[in-house]
Amino acid sequence: MRQITTVGVIGLGTMGAGIVEVFARGGLEVVGVETTEELAQRGRGILQASTDRAVAKGRLDEAGQSEILGRVTITTRMEDLAPADLVVEAVPEVMDLKHQVFSTLDGIVAQDAVLASNTSSLSITAIAAGTAHPERVVGMHFFNPAPVLKLVEVITTVRTEDSVRDGVVELSGRIGKRPVVVADRAGFVANYLLFGYFVSALRMLEQGHVSREDLDTAMRVGAGLPMGPCTLMDLVGLDVCHHIGDVIYAHSRSPMHAPSAMLERMVTAGLLGRKSGAGFYTYAKPGSGQVVPDTDDGSAPATAAVSAVGVVGSGEIANELVSRLRDGGYAVTQVSDPQDTEELRGLADVGVVVEAHQIEAARSLDEEETGSAPAPVPGQELWEVLGEICGPATVLTTVNEDLAVAVGALSGRPEKAAVLRIHAPTGNGQAVEIGRSSATDDATVAALRALVTSIGAEPVVCRDRPGLVVDALLMPHLMDAVRMLDEGYAGVADIDTALQHGLGYPVGPFAMIDQIGAEEVLTVCEELTEAGGLPRESVEPSPLLIEHVLLDRPFTG
């Protein structure tokens, strides 16, 4: 295969214009093709504006900018692609259009030139089958925005020649991208994993489990992802999500990918996300990323201000809560021993009681070996006692594994009970989930939102269901990556690279599993499987994960 020095890009829309820039910055001669003079000008304008921004930010000097622009020819004539060693098509996602473009190219480019498709969801094999030389056809899947995201999925078919694959991989590296080579399968690596997660998120929204804002906060702050699923789906376009989701479901037939009726309704109603000005959120205007309030936004429910809080427990978590709540402006009464009814009477007038004892009791089992006595585990008596002692408006909550409904039933005040799940901080902050039962009232939720905010964390309110939001979405997502590895579709490094450099994750799923601890991931997945509620195939631990736990072998490093 010949050395790639001149490339063509067909279609200068969202993706094509960015791909032109990537190639030109990488030192290649680029010929960009559009259908009309006007669209060709728009394509050149996008390139000019993007490089202008780089100059303004000091990332590029003016001489560098003119060199880049000087390497690009924009045209409306397909014949101008004759000298290209590689042509990437980025025309709309319609098979007939792709076939038409590639068969025209067959008559224009040299016989050993490579033909690449940037398709997200069409079969590369089917595209190749419609060309004169399927052995030179490959997928070259860039991610949006192409100049920013480094991933390029290089998709080979059973007909693709090795030299074609190697040439595209070499070129991808030369232009500063991170290539991942995979076989032709719906969704490839990144979208396949992303869309399973989207479907789970859509199910949660559809079931009224959590609001769009709290769902986004959960995954951005609690899981550390660059943005939440609603924001991301609005950015991708709900019609595109709907289409790619269908393609993946047609391939997998797994309930994990079952099309969302809500998404279909939204697309039918013209809610396409940012591009139409409204999707999960409403935007200032079509194409804008500025979220504006919905017209039917109600005001926050009125709540009696809470100034005094009780914390039950004396371990590390309880102590940290006490100090953060004091810093947050609350008067805090701490009760170390949950069995000391006299001490508990001191909580009669507080607005919120946070039980943070049981976790410390579990931790103190280690201390037992070192000589100190294990703390007693508060059983149902604690809630019964607190139900009798505390005033009727006192909110009762716990950071341990109790259910909100159990706390409510035992204390005799179901409307005042909820659970808290404190997450470890991520690069985006710290999230605390507030799980409510069907009886929990809005004033209770409002009081807990204020409390969580006061300790410098971001609240996520949801129904108290297994895994709340963060674990219920993140664990199946991680398990899906392990299953992909187990199926032999892609390796650990490929999958981690795909999600880190294609979706902007701080680290890939396997690095995440190793950070959390494979054993912990296994335990949570087993608990979620046992609890039910989520599709079993999504949370059931993969045999490969179990092997890694038993062998005490990390996935990465």
Minimum distance of ligand NAD from residue 39's CB (angstroms) = 5
Q: For the chain, what is the total number of helices (H) and then of strands (E)?
A: 23, 17
Q: Which is nearer to ligand NAD, 93 or 340 (CB)?
A: 93
Compute the least distance from the CB of residue 120 to ligand NAD, in Å.
Answer: 4
- Give the rounded distance of the alpha carbon of 437 from its chain centre: 26
Q: Report residue 49 as tokens.
A: 């504006």
DSSP code, position 210: B
Minimal distance in Å, beta carbon 390 to ligand NAD? 53
Contact 307, 295 (CB under 8 A): no
Question: CA 284: distance to chain centroid?
Answer: 24
- What residues make contact with ligand NAD under the rule CB under 6 A? 10-16, 33-35, 39, 90-93, 97, 101, 118-120, 142-144, 236
| Least distance between ligand NAD and beta carbon 454 (Å) | 39
* Nearer to ligand NAD among residue 143 and residue 330 (C-beta): 143
For 266, the 3-state DSSP assignment is helix
Is 153 annotated as catalytic? yes
Neighbours of 24 (CB within 10 A): 23
CB of 138 to ligand NAD, least distance (A): 14
Pick the closer one to ligand NAD by CB: 11 or 315.
Answer: 11
Residue 452 C-beta: closest distance to ligand NAD, Å: 35
The reply to whether 477 belongs to the active site is: no
423 is catalytic: no
CB of 33 to ligand NAD, least distance (A): 5
State the Cα–Cα distance between residues 269 and 350, nearest whole angstrom. Answer: 48
Select which of 120, 123, 314, 538 is catalytic: 120
**248: its two tokens:** 């993946």
CA neighbor of 36 nearest in space, from 16, 9, 20, 12: 12
Active-site residue, from 133, 141, 242, 423: 141
Q: How far is the CB of 352 from ligand NAD (least distance, A)?
A: 45
Longest alpha-carbon distance in the chain:
90
Residue 182 CA to residue 206 CA, distance in Å, equals 34
Nearer Cβ to ligand NAD, position 90 or 309? 90
The span from the CA of 451 to the CA of 350, in Å, is: 13
Q: Which residues of 263-274 are buried (b: 16+ CB within 10 A; e: fewer)?
A: beebbeeebbbb
Comparison of 17 and 218: residue with beta carbon closer to ligand NAD: 17
Cis-peptide, bond into residue 145, ω within 30° of zero: yes
Q: Which of 21, 153, 433, 458 is catalytic?
A: 153
Residue 34 or 216 having the CB closest to ligand NAD: 34
Closest separation between CB of residue 97 and ligand NAD, Å? 6
**3-state DSSP percent of the chain in helix, strand and coil, to 5:** 50, 15, 35
Q: Do 446 and 432 form a contact (C-beta atoms < 8 A)?
A: no
Task: Give the shortest CB-183-to-ligand NAD separation in angstroms.
Answer: 18
- Rounded to 10 degrees, what is the CA torsion of 482, 488, 492, 494? -120
Cα separation, 204 vs 391, whole angstroms: 34
220 φ, ψ (degrees, to nearest 5): -75, -50
The residues, any chain, with a CB within 8 Å of residue 476's CB and separated by 6 or more, are 196, 197, 200, 256, 534, 535, 538, 539
CB 36 within 8 A of CB 44: no
Look at the block and give the residue holding tokens 């963060």: 470
Those residues with Cβ within 8 angstroms of residue 511's Cβ, 6 or more apart along the chain or in another chain: 496, 500, 555, 556
Using the minimum distance from each CB to ligand NAD, give the nearer residue, 15 or 318. 15
Q: How far apart, in whole angstroms, are the C-alpha atoms of residue 11 and residue 91? A: 5
User: Which CB, 395 or 498, lies closer to ligand NAD?
Assistant: 498
Residue 100: which of 186, 11, 29 has the closest Cα? 11
- Residues 91 and 75: their CA atoms lie apart, in Å, by 15
Q: Where are the beta strands (DSSP E) in 11-99?
A: 29-33, 72-75, 86-89
Catalytic-residue membership of 209: no
Nearer to ligand NAD, 92 or 557 (CB): 92
Residue nearest to ligand NAD (CB): 13
Which one, 96 or 296, has the nearer CB to ligand NAD?
96
Q: Which residues are catalytic, by number?
A: 120, 141, 153, 191
